[in-house]
Amino acid sequence: MTAAAVDTEREPEEIEGTSYLRAGYSLRSWLLTTDHKRIAILYLLSITFFFAIAAVAAALIRLDLITPEGDLLSNEGYNRAFSIHGIMMVWFFLIPSIPNTIGNFMIPLMIGARDLAFPRLNLLSWYIFIVAGIFALFVVVAGGVDTGWTFYTPLTTMYANGAVVATVLAVFISGFSTILTGLNFIVTIHKLRAPGMTWSRLPLFVWSHYAVSIIFVLATPVLAITLLLVAAERVFGIGVFDPSLGGDPLLFQHLFWFYSHPAVYIMVLPAMGVVSELITAGAHKKIFGYWFVAYASIAIAVIGFLVWGHHMFVSGQSVLASTAFSFLSIAVAVPSAIKVYNWTATLYKGDVALDAPLLYAMGFIGLFVAGGLTGLMLAMLAIDVHVHDTYFVVAHFHYIMVGGSVTAFFGALHYWWPKITGRLYNEVLGRISALLMIVGFNLTFFPQFMLGYEGMPRRYHVYPQEFQVLQVFSSAGAGMLAVAYLMPLTYLLWSLRSGARAPANPWGATGLEWTTSSPPPKHNFTEQPVVVRGPYDYPLAHPRSRQDA
Amino acid sequence: MSPSILLWPTAASRHADEVDLLIGTFGGLVALLTIPVFVLMTVFAIRYRTSREADREHPPSGRTWLEFSWAGIPFLLILGFFFWSTQLFFQIHRPPPGAMTINVVAKQWMWKFQHAQGAAEINELHVPAGRPVRLNMTSRDVIHSLFLPAFRIKQDLLPGRYTSLWFQAREPGIYAFRCAEFCGTDHSVMGGRLVVMRPADFAAWLEEEGAFGTSATLAELGGKLFREVGCSGCHGPASDVHAPNLAGLFGRPVGLSDGSTIVADEQYLHDSIMLPNKHIAAGYQPIMPTYGNVLEPEQVNALVAFIRAGAQAQEEEGP
């Protein structure tokens, strides 16, 4: 790490035995902890596990699709595999990924607080999450479900095989964990900021988590209601969605996407917050257009609630409604574009250190731009009519969720790893895996744009032969991506045993989290921080700024 | 294994060409908006890398005019494409008046087509080239979606509801159609062939199919059903039950008991048969029994075709 040389002599010393990691070694000290940092670690372990399961399902899908006949799985087996992949990835990895690990760990540190506002609620939300996650995993693997993660009616309510009701309940339960986390973040950001930490000095990571918490609290209950109605229709035959019982199947789609479109912003807003931190730290420069980046997060959260109908352009929704949703979907791209242009401008006249976190951040920007602009294509009605429900859509949302959110998650993990664990990882391996991830990702998903435009529908186990070459490219890319995900797992874990001890501020970054020791003490700071500067005040880089108080 | 990569799908209609032109031009705009980001990001990262001497004096931390221009200008440019694309979308929802109607019923996991002339097909659809074809579609079970890649169109099929799709094939040929909405176990094999024929060949094909099959038109089949399932008992001219007269009903506005008015289209007729209490015609008692559990969608289509044709047959053949 090139930045490691910056001003380490003034770092706050880690007083032996006070780090949160040394506050207790028993299992009980972890499972009954109310320390937001330890809960973040619990989340990190759980989501890594669920990510691995969902990735195995993805590997099965990609292996199966190497041949047009799909020799590995049966039709039913394939449908179950993509249902496991979607359900576990969306609800048990992507939605909690950055907020509940990095956010949970960093928000109190970044605003100068000792913990979240409701530490026990924080632990409860992890318990709800882990119970729901293990239940969901058991159900989708042992029972099997073939509805996809979208649970469209009346397929799900009347026709699908497998443990539909149990799956729906697992997702329903996990929603409470999300709501509690959102509530906790909102109250924490409002009430626990350190003296001097005004809203205009709030790190952009915290702004984006504030925006995402609003979505957590407002959108998740809609999903809960919808899933309960699905269960009620399947079990009791209450006619809400099934037309043969007098229901309306499109009502389900409206309710589902009213949650699930904002859920896409749940996945990407925290990633944007991460990138704002990584870019400024990597470029050692103040963010370009702080207020525009901050309010863009809020704008995305708000407009994001008004675009759900763009999932329904070919569903039989009225032409007029489709036109309105098309327009609003174009509008929601504006704040995202503002962010991208501001990040690029931030690099101008910077002091750029191309370390792994910055490479991941730049990877995020590139892949997010590709995903966002193909999203604009999908917002165009006449184009969507052709590519809706094809691989074009699959490629588009993987560029956002994997190319965007997962890349940012890995960037965040590298950037804050020294703070979280107190160890430095191998920077060379970090850079190699960042580059490998960007190349592997594009090889996997770029061919899918072509497949989609050529007419390959999504969720196809058996496909026409003319698509095979591109499918093979995609599967080869997935293999490369798997290596790029396994590499960090290896060298990050290795660093825990053999990595060099991390100084308090290895990147020479601003932000209160770098003013405390690595790893931080149990109560985060040995004395109450007082903030006198804006964020990213880079010509006067930390750790000196803390002494200004 | 086919070694070739398909780079661009065939375009079989004018609409397909227009969509290709739209996405091609839009792709150009996208490149215009993104290439600067990629280039500048790389240039800045190299020119201002920490090991290199560079002019870092007075780094800017914001320019309001710049913010508004990079928010506003792309938005306005894209808005132009919004109007273009929306206009194309309106076109595919407005079938030309002379379009021939073919009924489509999707079910797990097959496609059924009913021609007005009586021919019925499964997983294969014959149409004439150069003539607009309107598909009047519904599903028997779950939601399916008819996707015609060579025509760049698709539309979901919903149970209990009609949706429609129209296209005009440029020239004879064989094109694939596929189900695009996940519909259960065999979703991926729910496809078929669209056979576009020269109009003369198509007429001959209809003739042959008709002779091979029932030799009755869809409306005639509907007329037969009209008597068999008991519709004529109330709606026939000889009936003394106070029930609406269906002759010439199709396309006419109908006054409802709640004071509103509805046009008697395919959906209205479907609902009146399957969910008779949904709309009660003004001046009538809600006494019609539901056929929701009695009739298949194909039969409803035949009855609708019969009523559309004027509901005259029962008078000719009735007592």
Higher pLDDT, B1 or A261: A261
Phi-psi region of A392 (alpha: psi -120 to 50; beta: other; left: phi over 0): alpha
DSSP secondary structure letter of residue B175: E
**CA pair distance B309, A262, nearest whole angstrom:** 48
Q: Would you place residue B301 in the very low, low, confident or very high pLDDT band (cuts 50, 70, 90)? A: very high
**CA pair distance B68, A292, nearest whole angstrom:** 10
Residue B267 lies in a domain: yes
Torsional sign, CA A135, A141, A147, A148: positive
**CA pair distance A284, A280, nearest whole angstrom:** 5
**CA pair distance A184, A179, nearest whole angstrom:** 9
Q: Are residues B8 and B86 in the same domain?
A: yes
Q: Are residues B239 and B197 in the same domain?
A: no
Residues above pLDDT 90, as percent of chain A: 87
Residue B56 lies in a domain: no
Closest residue in chain A to residue B25, using alpha carbons only: A377
Cβ A337–B74 below 8 Å, yes or no?
yes
Q: Is residue A546's pLDDT more than 70? A: no
Q: Is residue A540's pLDDT more than 60? A: no
**pLDDT at res. B210:** 66
Higher pLDDT, B215 or B40: B40
Q: What is the mean pLDDT of residues A94-102?
A: 96
Residue B84 lies in a domain: yes
Whole-number average pLDDT of chain A: 92
Q: Are residues B186 and B268 in the same domain?
A: no
Q: Are residues B102 and B197 in the same domain?
A: yes
- Give the pLDDT confidence of A112-139 residue by residue, as tens digits: 999 999 999 999 999 999 999 999 999 9
**CA pair distance A101, A50, nearest whole angstrom:** 14
Task: Give the domain CATH number at B112.
Answer: 2.60.40.420
Neighbour-count burial of A461, counting CB atoms closer than 10 A to its CB (0-12 exposed, 13-18 middle, 19+ buried): buried
- Give the pLDDT confidence of B158-169 residue by residue, as tens digits: 999 999 999 999
Q: Are residues B21 and B101 in the same domain?
A: yes
- Give the pLDDT confidence of A400-458 residue by residue, as tens digits: 999 999 999 999 999 999 999 999 999 999 999 999 999 999 999 999 999 999 999 99
Cβ B41–A362 below 8 Å, yes or no?
yes
Q: Are residues B141 and B205 in the same domain?
A: yes
Task: Give the domain CATH number at B240.
Answer: 1.10.760.10
Q: Does any CB of chain B come closer than 8 Å to the CB of residue A314?
A: yes
3-state class (DSSP) for residue A531: coil
Residue B61 lies in a domain: no
Q: Are residues B207 and B250 in the same domain?
A: no
Structure token digits, residue B170 = 């440029």
Q: Does any CB of chain B come closer than 8 Å to the CB of residue A464?
A: yes
Cβ A347–B41 below 8 Å, yes or no?
yes
- Give the pLDDT confidence of B98-111 residue by residue, as tens digits: 899 999 999 999 99
Q: Does any CB of chain A come closer than 8 Å to the CB of residue B316?
A: no
**CA pair distance A29, A42, nearest whole angstrom:** 12
Q: Are residues B174 and B301 in the same domain?
A: no
Q: What is the mean pLDDT of residues B279-284?
A: 89
Residues above pLDDT 90, as percent of chain B: 63
Q: Does any CB of chain A come closer than 8 Å to the CB of residue B68?
A: no
Q: Are residues B248 and B144 in the same domain?
A: no
Q: How far is A483 from chain B (nearest CA, A)?
A: 25
* Residues 189 through 218 of chain B touching chain A, CB cutoff 8 Å: 189
Instruction: Could you list the beta-strand ranges (E) of A381-485.
Output: none
Q: How far is A256 from chain B (nearest CA, A)?
A: 15
Q: Are residues B169 and B102 in the same domain?
A: yes
Query: Model's pTM, two decimal places?
Result: 0.92
- Give the pLDDT confidence of A471-525 residue by residue, as tens digits: 999 999 999 999 999 999 999 999 999 999 999 999 989 899 999 999 999 999 9
CA A51 to centroid of chain Cα atoms: 12
Q: Would you place residue B313 in the very low, low, confident or very high pLDDT band (cuts 50, 70, 90)? A: very low
DSSP secondary structure letter of residue A423: B
Q: Is residue A37's pLDDT more than 60? A: yes
Q: What is the mean pLDDT of residues A339-365?
A: 94
Q: Are residues B109 and B166 in the same domain?
A: yes
Q: Does any CB of chain A come closer than 8 Å to the CB of residue B141?
A: yes
DSSP secondary structure letter of residue A315: T
Whole-number average pLDDT of chain B: 89
Closest residue in chain A to residue B297, using alpha carbons only: A244
Cβ B181–A244 below 8 Å, yes or no?
no
Q: How far is B207 from chain A (nearest CA, A)?
A: 32
Residue after which a domain boundary falls, among B187, B213, B239: B213
Domain around B304: 218-317
Residue B157 lies in a domain: yes
Contacts of A347 in chain B (CB under 8 A): 40-41, 44-45, 48
- Identify which of A412, A385, A209 has the alpha carbon closest to the alpha carbon of residue B165: A385
Residue B238 lies in a domain: yes
Supply the DSSP string of B98-166, one letter for each residue: TPEEEEEEEETTEEEEEETTS-EEESEEEEETTS-EEEEEEESSS-EEEEEGGGTEEEEE-BTS-EEEE
Q: Are residues B28 and B84 in the same domain?
A: yes
In one letter, which amino acid is A222?
V
In one letter, which amino acid is A544?
R
Residue B59 lies in a domain: no
CB pairs under 8 A between A and B: 270
Main-chain dihedrals φ then ψ at residue B138, nearest 5 degrees: -150, 170
- Identify which of A528, A522, A387, A155 has the alpha carbon closest to the alpha carbon of residue B148: A387
Q: Based on the structure, what is the number of domains in chain B?
A: 2
Q: Is residue A33's pLDDT more than 70? A: yes
Closest residue in chain A to residue B164, using alpha carbons only: A316
Q: Is residue A531's pLDDT more than 50? A: yes
- Give the pLDDT confidence of A365-416 residue by residue, as tens digits: 999 999 999 999 999 999 999 999 999 999 999 999 999 999 999 999 999 9
**pLDDT at res. A543:** 40
Contacts of B49 in chain A (CB under 8 A): 352-354
Q: Is residue A8's pLDDT more than 50? A: no
Q: Would you place residue A64 in the very low, low, confident or very high pLDDT band (cuts 50, 70, 90)? A: very high
Residue after which a domain boundary falls, among B213, B234, B264: B213
* Residues 279 through 298 of chain A touching chain B, CB cutoff 8 Å: 283-292
Residue B52 lies in a domain: no
- Give the pLDDT confidence of B109-148 residue by residue, as tens digits: 999 999 998 888 999 999 999 999 999 999 999 999 999 9
3-state class (DSSP) for residue A545: helix
Residue after which a domain boundary falls, among B152, B179, B213: B213
